[in-house]
Every structure is written in structure tokens, then in C-alpha cells.
Chain A
Amino acid sequence: MTDTAPTATTTAAIETHDLSIYYGSFQAVRDVNLDIQPNRITAIIGPSGCGKSTVLRAFNRMNELIPSVNTTGEVLFRGQNIYKPDVDPVEVRRHIGMVFQKPNPFPKSVYENVAWGARINGFKGNMDELVHSSLQSAALWDEVKDKLDQSGLSLSGGQQQRLCIARAIAVRPDIILMDEPCSALDPIATLRIEELMRDLAKDYTIIIVTHNMQQAARVSDRTAFFSLSEDGKRAGMLMEYGDTKTMFTRPEKKITEDYITGRFG
């Protein structure tokens, strides 16, 4: 809490304290201290295998679905450590949604894809409206409004990914995690998703993992650069964290500069 920027939004959406994550005995992520600003887009970049996905999944306890994972340290969401024993991971995921690398709509209708999450979360209001507004927010409504009954799998890849975003929005999370959401998409579809992210950032906190430097520079407000530790143990560490602009123009560390300018990675 020492690193809080002196802006109006003083508090972090997510804070980590000494977050370390292990796969069995292998330490994939070491001592990450990070605070994510609300209503901002934060990009996580870094070379392959440095633990970006692992950190991202730690933010909504998705790592637990892998049996061998062990997490230490704290992840604070609204001041509560989500790794405290009495915290329900299901509740956590309701507040912190996720969009995956490969579009993974349910093999159900477009409508059901959006409605399902809200329904199991006890949504009591007007479902048609919720589906409409979610699809609209995901910039997909115009394209699918006539095929709400069709299978989600019948959409194009880019549409499927926006459907997954709509699905995540429909449960009204506070934070949306996106793990390389555009890596399976063509440039035009990528552009649409990026525009969409900028729109969504008005209402949501977004954390995005990306391999694409330009993308990070284009969409994100802040950037976290991860890299492998140099002690031979290949644990992922947070190297540098700050405003995207600063980071891409005047990186503090040499390693960051090397990575951003494509000299390694």
C-alpha cells in the first residue's frame, strides 16, 4: 500500500503481497508485489513461461483447478485476502471474471451462453435485457441479434471471443481477467476486441496478458513486466511495473528495455 499513486482513485482493485506459486515443488512465480488500479487496463507482459498466466489465474483462484498448485502470500481483493481459508473461491470468481486464450463458448445457444452465468448466480431480473445489454457491451449485439438461438460454436472466432466477453460481463464482475484474448484471432478481430476493452474500461478493471507489445502499448494504462529469475531456477518475477507510457519510453531497467525493443524474449 506504499506504492499508491496520488490520484483520485487511491485504492487498488487487487493487491498482491509476496505472492509465490508452485507447481508441485517447482516455483513458477516468486514474491510478486503488485497493485492493480481500478477502472484501468493493466497489461502483463514477459517472455514465454515466465508465469504470466499463472499470476493471472491466481487473481481468481483458477489455479486451484490444477491439483499440484500451491500458492503462498496474499492476494487482496477489496481489502480481503482471497486466499484466507474461509473465502469461497466460487464467490471470488463471481467478482473476478475471466476470458481465456482460446474462445471457449459453451456448446449452447448464444442466448444461453450469456444467460447461464447470470442464472446460476441467482440473477432475478429481466434476462432478455441482460443478454441484450451484455451483448451490446461486448459489441456483438448487431451481429448476433438474429441468431440468438444458434449454437455459440457457429460464430466466427472473433465473435466467439466477444461472446465469451459478453458472458463474463453478464455476471457483473468487478474485474475481468484476459489471458491472451486475441492470440487466436486475426488482426481485424483483434482490433475490435481492443476497442471493446477500451470501452469496457469505463466500468471494469481489466487485466490482460499479452505477447503483443503494440497491443500492450495501445490498450493498457499500466504495464507489469515479468521475467525469469536469473539464478537458474527459472522462477517468474515482477521486474518492472508502472505507467505504460513511461515503461515503453523510459524503462527503468535494462532487461525491460531489451524485452520491449525485441532484443530478447
Chain B
Amino acid sequence: MPLTRATEQSLPATSLKRKLRLRELVIQAVLFLCGLFSIFVTVGIIYELGKESMLFFGRTQWERTNKPIVAAISANDVQFDVSNIGATASPGEVIRLDDELLMLTAVEGSTYFVERGFRDSVAVPHAAETIIYRGVNPSVWEFLTGTSWAPHAGQFGVLPLLNATLMVSGIAILVALPLGLAAAIYLSEYASPKARNTLKPILEVLAGVPTVVYGYFALTFMTPFLRSIFGQDTVQIYNTASAGIVIGILILPLVSTISEDALNAVPRSLREAAYGLGATRLETAVRIVLPAAFSGIAAAVIIAISRAIGETMVVALAAGAGPAFTFNPFQAAETMTGHIVRISGGDLSYDSLDYNSIFAIGLMLFVMTLALNIFSQYIVRRFREVYE
């Protein structure tokens, strides 16, 4: 094609060829890895929580039955008599005498029939009066429904901790929702820009105070305050009410800020329409703006609950140390987070029951807060679709 050749001659051909820009590639790869790092964190969290929780549920606890064998037995006896005191094990359970594990095949009256040297343990003779231990495996069902948490004694019900967590969060939201919502309505519907610019930062200061300082506040101010109102005998030194109220104050700025954003996102035209129909300011705010902003406010509340559930230092200091299944807010009860902090406070040794149990509780906490966060995001997304 002569014309093309002419083209190339009249204008010096320049190479537009893609160059190998090594620096660009390397930088892009590094940036991508940094972006990917957050995925590693999530995978790490899920993997570790999952792995250690499985160990928790797979771990056999030895519960002392207080029932001794009556007479000494040799290494190959497969039946023996037991005393009638203490708890009786049932067939199919694994029991332990000294270091030997035995499979209980049948129980007839006070006679145990066993398989010796179970699970690679060595059958050895046992002296009279040796106490029988019985193996207990925490089941997920028991974990979720049991009302007593004492893993070392074979009781794995997380309900006392969960109940305390929910009580504290419930009290917190009872404090934060009305206050936060009212403050948000005032700031978005009533306050002059000047008032808003001075009041909002004050609420934001509340959000910036470290939670351990709130814990100090709960223990040294809120608890004495509650005790002076309701009486020293009614209110224990550690109680969920004090922790809940203080967490309520802690999440108040969260509720008010997100709610205010939701209220502000309601278009002006809606308000003007209401005023045009002769509605008062209150009626406009409560009947028109508030329902229109409902999903945003709902998201705020959910995020606040999630935050309250995960809050740790206030409950660790003020709610009490020791699981208790109680619905009385003036009594001490340890929450999930409080429990994790207390038992990991010392030098926790790996692969111990306590070590595994904090992962099981942590997994539950993670699932709960993640579900709430995803739910709130879902609500926010729907809410965006309405106005943007």
C-alpha cells in the first residue's frame, strides 16, 4: 500500500508500544497486597476462632463423680463394684481411673462393666477407693442452652455470660436510644447552625474518651450513685445496671450522630410539604421526618447495640467478675467480654481449657456483632436507594 508507506515517511514513526514499566507493576502489586491484607485479617480471625473453638468442643473434661471403686482391681478386670455415693455414669461414657481411660459398657446395680485401656491408655491396677472421673464433652447445644458456666466443673452453658451481655446492652440502648434520638431531632430540626456547631463537638468529646475511663467512671461514680438512690443492700458493688448506663452514655454520640445524618438526609421538600399543610414543627419532625429517616435510625441503633455487645472495659470493671445467671440488673454478672478479659488476664497457657474457651466465646461475639453490622449495612443500603 503506497499510501501507508507515504504516511510513515512524512511523519516519523514513533513507537506507541507498551513499555515494560517494572516500577509501576511492582508498586501496583504492593498496593494490591496491602489491600488484600484486610482479607488475611478476616481469614485469620475466622480461622483462629473456628479452630480453637473446635478444640474447645472436642476437649474432654474430667468431672469428679465422687464415686470410688470399692475394692482394688487388677489390670485385666473388666467389671468392678462401685460405692453408692456420688454420681453414676451411664453406659457408653468414658470414665477415668487414675491415668487409665475406660469405656463403660454396662451398669448393673453398683457394678460397672468396662473395656480397659481405652483410647491408647494403659490398663493398670487401681487401688480401692480410687475416685471415678467421668469424661464430659461440651456440646454446642449445651454451650448454647446451658445455664451454668463453669468449664472446669464440666458446665459449659454460655447463657449466663450471654444473658449479662444482653442485659448490659439492653440497658445501654434504653439509655442511648431516647437520649440520642431526641438529641438528634433537636440538632437537625430545631437547633440553629451556631448551636449545632457548639453542641455537636461536645457529644463528640464523649465519643473520644477511652472506654477504660468510662469503666473508672462506672465504678467510682455511677455505682455509688445508684447505691445511694436504691440502697446499699439492693445494689451490689458490681452490677449490670451501672455498666449498662455508662455504656449507654458511651454509645450516645454514635446514636445521635448517625441518626442526625439520617434526619438530615430527608429532603427539604418533604418538610416544606408538611409545613405547607399546616403542620407544626413537632408534627413535621415526628410524623414526617422521623418515619422517613426510620431505616437510618434503625441502622444507628443496630450499630450501637453491636458496639455495646463488644464493649469490654466498662463491664470488666463494673459489671462483676464471675458468671451469674440473673435478670436482676443490680446484681453482679459477668458478660462475655468481661469473662474473656478476666481469664486471659493472667499468663494463660496455650491449649488449656480456658484458652480454648475464650475462642469459643469470642467466636460467638464475632458472629453476633458481624451479623448486626451486616444487617445495619443492608438497611443503610436500602435507605440510600430511597433518596439518592
Contact = CB atoms under 8 A, between A and B. Distances in A.
Any A–B CB pair closer than 8 Å: yes
Interface of A: 1, 4, 10-11, 38, 77-80, 82, 86-88, 91-92, 95, 174
A10 B16 contact: no
B10 A10 contact: yes
Contacts of B26: none
Contacts of A91: 14-19
Contacts of A174: 11
A77 B16 contact: yes
A78 B5 CA distance: 11
B19 to A, nearest CB: 6
Contact of B7 (A78, A87, A88): A78
A11 B17 contact: no
Nearest to B1: A1
Given A78-B13, A87-B17, 20 more contacts: A1-B3, A10-B10, A11-B6, A11-B7, A11-B11, A38-B11, A78-B8, A79-B4, A80-B16, A86-B18, A87-B16, A87-B18, A88-B17, A88-B19, A91-B15, A91-B17, A91-B19, A92-B16, A95-B16, A174-B11
A54 to B, nearest CB: 21
Nearest to A8: B10
Contacts of B3: 1, 4
Contact of B16 (A1, A11, A88): A88
Given A78-B13, A79-B13, A88 B18 contact: yes
A202 B19 CA distance: 31
A79 B16 CA distance: 11
A79 B15 contact: no
Contacts of B16: 77, 80, 82, 87-88, 91-92, 95
Nearest to A80: B16
Contacts, number: 42
Q: Which 6 pairs, one residue from A and one from B, show the smallest C-beta to C-beta distance?
A: A88-B18, A79-B7, A87-B16, A91-B16, A11-B7, A78-B11
Contacts of B19: 88, 91
Contacts of A4: 3
12 contacts: A4-B3, A11-B6, A11-B11, A38-B11, A77-B16, A79-B11, A86-B17, A88-B16, A91-B15, A92-B16, A95-B16, A174-B11
A77 B13 CA distance: 10
A8 B26 CA distance: 47
A10 B14 contact: no
Nearest to A10: B6
A10 B7 CA distance: 8
Contacts of B18: 86-88, 91
Nearest to A91: B16
A11 B10 contact: yes
A209 to B, nearest CB: 24
B132 to A, nearest CB: 70
Contacts of A79: 4, 7-8, 11, 13
A47 to B, nearest CB: 29
A15 to B, nearest CB: 9
A78 B14 contact: yes
Contacts of A92: 16
Contacts of B14: 78, 91, 95
B126 to A, nearest CB: 75
Contacts of A88: 16-19
A38 B15 CA distance: 19
B10 to A, nearest CB: 5
Nearest to B18: A88
A2 B11 CA distance: 19
A95 B12 CA distance: 12
A163 B17 CA distance: 30
Contacts of A87: 16-18
A233 B13 CA distance: 39
Contacts of B4: 79
From A38, A82, A91, name the one whose CB has the most chain B CB atoms within 10 angstroms: A91
B276 to A, nearest CB: 35
A14 B382 CA distance: 47
Contacts of A86: 17-18
Nearest to A82: B16
Interface string B4-38: 10111011011111110000000000000000000
